[in-house]
């Protein structure tokens, strides 16, 4: 039976020990926390929020193995296996497939700035090398290149390219994609990658989110997605506006630094970020703590 990739998926942080070694017990604890306590719809290891650029290849593979094994089929696991090297992306994706991941998240090739034709060739080559469902990740603010709607429309014709994580921050582009892809019956998923826009994107026809903020308020994001999906728009709108101050606070510095800080405050495994990311500034830490208290995620003083 085909997996359902709608709803709220958490791009997991990668918890580190104080010496910056991978914290495997902490990672297992997070998996169970998000499934059993926050009740999210899916997990995404080794994405941007998981500090994938500073993981070794061995660590990258190990994180995916641990998450897949600990999840044990309870929710879908979408493994971040993208790279700006097509061959490297294929290697990481084949590994994820071999250990039982349910899908692959493939970021737009960054730094080397391919043309739209180059991006099509990149994703085609990865799709041809695996049977895993592939979700394209469009994040121009980090990759330096926008995957244009016409490119995504062409890629959607490939059987195992089943969706896009849309972090372009352009509702006009999102609407163009939904209009072109949402009416043809193919079941192509459009997942929000902009947390402040998830409510709007879902009301326009999007199918869910891969949400960095859901590391901290996963239950609320999951409830909002379910409310929109089931036509309870006023309920979803209320949740959206209640969450908005925390959404803004969790991006006061580069993701995932505030998210890791928040999880640590909440008593969950996180640890420091790896360089070149540095810990949250003291003034931002105090502000974040206050927003977390107001959101009910920390006890009142």
For 141, counting Cβ atoms within 10 Å of its Cβ (0-12 exposed, 13-18 middle, 19+ buried), the class is exposed
> Using an 8 Å Cβ cutoff, are 192 and 224 in contact?
no
Which residue is catalytic, options 39, 111, 137, 229?
Answer: 137
The pairing of beta strand 42-44 with beta strand 7-11: parallel
First to last CA, the chain: 49
Two structure tokens written together for 280: 């949250």
Q: What is the dihedral of CA 176, 243, 237, 254, to 10 degrees?
A: -10
Query: Catalytic residue at 137?
Result: yes
> Using an 8 Å Cβ cutoff, are 146 and 172 in contact?
no
Three-state secondary-structure class, residue 261? helix
Which residue is catalytic, options 94, 157, 165, 237?
Answer: 165
Minimal CA–CA distance to 99: which of 128, 137, 73?
73
Which residues are catalytic, by number? 137, 165
């Amino acid at each position: 039976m085909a997996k359902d990739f709608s709803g709220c998926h958490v791009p997991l942080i990668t918890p580190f020990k104080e010496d910056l070694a991978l914290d495997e017990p902490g990672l297992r604890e997070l998996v169970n926390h998000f499934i059993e306590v926050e009740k999210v719809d899916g997990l995404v290891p080794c994405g941007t929020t998981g500090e994938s650029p500073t993981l070794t290849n061995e660590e990258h593979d190990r994180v995916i193995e641990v998450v897949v094994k600990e999840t044990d089929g309870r929710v879908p696991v979408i493994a971040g296996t993208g790279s700006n090297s097509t061959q490297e992306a294929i290697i990481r994706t084949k590994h994820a497939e071999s250990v039982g991941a349910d899908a692959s998240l493939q970021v737009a090739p960054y730094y080397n700035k391919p043309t739209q034709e180059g991006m099509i060739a990149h994703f085609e080559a990865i799709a041809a090398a695996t049977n895993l469902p592939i979700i394209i990740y469009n994040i121009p603010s980090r990759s330096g290149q926008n995957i244009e709607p016409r490119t995504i429309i062409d890629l959607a014709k490939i059987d195992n390219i089943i969706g896009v994580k849309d972090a372009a921050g352009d509702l006009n582009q999102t609407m163009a994609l939904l209009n072109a892809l949402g009416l043809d019956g193919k079941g192509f998923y459009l997942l929000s990658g902009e947390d402040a826009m998830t409510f709007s994107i879902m009301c326009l026809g999007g199918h869910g989110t891969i949400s960095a903020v859901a590391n901290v308020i996963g239950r609320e994001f999951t409830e909002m997605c379910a409310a929109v999906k089931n036509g309870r728009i006023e309920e979803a709108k209320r949740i959206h506006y209640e969450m908005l101050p925390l959404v803004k606070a969790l991006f006061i510095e580069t993701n995932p630094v505030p998210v890791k800080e928040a999880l640590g405050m909440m008593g969950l495994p996180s640890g420091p970020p790896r360089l070149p990311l540095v810990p949250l500034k003291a003034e931002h830490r105090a502000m974040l703590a206050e927003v977390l208290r107001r959101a009910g995620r920390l006890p009142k003083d």
